[in-house]
């Protein structure tokens, strides 16, 4: 699991069940130059332990104090810090940023059962939205509605600021077919960007721990590996082998799924041949058009690291802009 895929709900549930108490603080709105995006979270135990961040360090101290009071009171509370607030300079937002933070003690509006259900959904890689009605105090989980929020991974307010929707998508995953030199640059870069990379290559000499220390490697044929791993909307598939025997079965599986990105290495001529092979199998043009080939944004990349950079740039563009 990647470092950037924070485990705030899991930690909160553990602390609560351990008897330490826990409150989750969530950024629900920002203006100006606030340092963390909406949906960022911090968990605070009854002993003052913290994990995560709502401001990169600017307001954490103040939020911890409020969270400890909320735990004692047993009720959620809304906090706001900004330059217009006399306390803003003390907490480090004098640069012009303003944030609102929702603090929810576990066991109050956010019940233990609801938090456990959220953790279970995340463990099972099920996308789920945590919906907080700030007027009524009701909390619920849902997989229905908010398609754009799920696609863009974007939490925020609905119903004119009455309802806050926190999106909990599974962590991003990148399946890299072909343990080649580009993969050696791509995999660590992908991990930094928040992906859980998996390398697939039936050739033991290529897909080895010596070449990819500490990484997940499947020495299987790509179609078998993909059947084992499964494909979903939080998965990117990158094919780097140039070999139709390895690439094509994986591409066909991906085109029949809802992966958000399919990229295949090769020249324009290689990609044209690939398109002809797939079309000859009766695959619809709109499905074939999902393949990004040649893979990566055209940034004039030279060498494995720059090609890896171009691939991740294109993945990001497709993920965030569609």
- pLDDT, tens digit, 9 for 90 and up, residues 2-23: 343 478 999 999 999 999 999 9
pTM: 0.73
Strand runs (DSSP E) across the chain, as ranges? 22-31, 41-45, 50-52, 77-81, 98-105, 128-133, 139-142, 156-158, 163-168, 172-177, 195-200, 216-218, 235-239, 261-264, 291-292
On whether the CB atoms of residues 199 and 217 are closer than 8 A, the answer is: yes
Res. 136: pLDDT tops 50: yes
Q: Which residue ranges form the domains of the chain, and what is each CATH number?
A: 8-168 (no CATH), 172-321 (3.40.50.720)
Q: What is the pLDDT of residues 265-317, one digit of tens each?
A: 999 999 999 999 999 999 999 999 999 999 999 999 999 999 999 999 999 99
Contacts of 57 (CB under 8 A, 6+ apart): 92
Res. 144: pLDDT tops 80: yes
């Amino acid at each position: 699991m990647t470092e950037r895929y924070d485990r705030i709900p899991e930690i909160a549930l553990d602390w609560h069940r351990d008897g330490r108490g826990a409150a989750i603080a969530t950024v629900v709105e920002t203006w100006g130059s606030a340092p963390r995006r909406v949906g960022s979270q911090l968990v605070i135990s009854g002993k003052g332990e913290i994990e995560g961040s709502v401001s990169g360090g600017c307001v954490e101290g103040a939020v911890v104090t409020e969270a400890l009071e909320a735990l004692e009171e047993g009720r959620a509370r809304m906090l706001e810090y900004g330059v217009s607030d006399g306390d803003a300079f003390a907490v480090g937002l004098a640069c012009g940023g303003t944030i609102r933070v929702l603090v929810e003690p576990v066991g109050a509006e956010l019940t233990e059962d609801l938090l456990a259900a959220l953790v279970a959904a995340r463990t099972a890689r099920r996308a789920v939205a945590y919906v907080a009605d700030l007027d009524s105090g009701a909390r619920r989980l849902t997989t229905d509605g908010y398609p754009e929020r799920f696609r863009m991974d974007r939490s925020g307010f609905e119903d004119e600021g009455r309802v806050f929707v926190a999106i909990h998508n599974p962590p991003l995953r990148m399946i890299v077919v072909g343990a080649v030199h580009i993969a050696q640059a791509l995999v660590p870069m992908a991990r930094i960007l928040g992906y859980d990379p998996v390398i697939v290559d039936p050739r033991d000499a290529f897909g080895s721990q010596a070449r990819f220390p500490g990484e997940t490697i499947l020495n299987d044929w790509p179609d078998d590996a993909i059947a084992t791993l499964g494909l979903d909307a939080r998965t990117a598939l990158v094919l780097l082998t140039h070999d139709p025997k390895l690439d094509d079965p994986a591409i066909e599986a991906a085109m029949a799924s809802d992966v958000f990105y399919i990229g295949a290495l090769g020249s324009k001529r290689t990609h044209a041949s690939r398109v002809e092979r797939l079309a000859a199998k009766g695959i619809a043009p709109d499905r074939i058009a999902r393949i990004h080939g040649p893979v990566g944004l055209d940034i004039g990349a030279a060498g494995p690291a720059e090609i890896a950079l171009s691939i991740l740039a294109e993945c990001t563009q497709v993920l965030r802009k569609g």
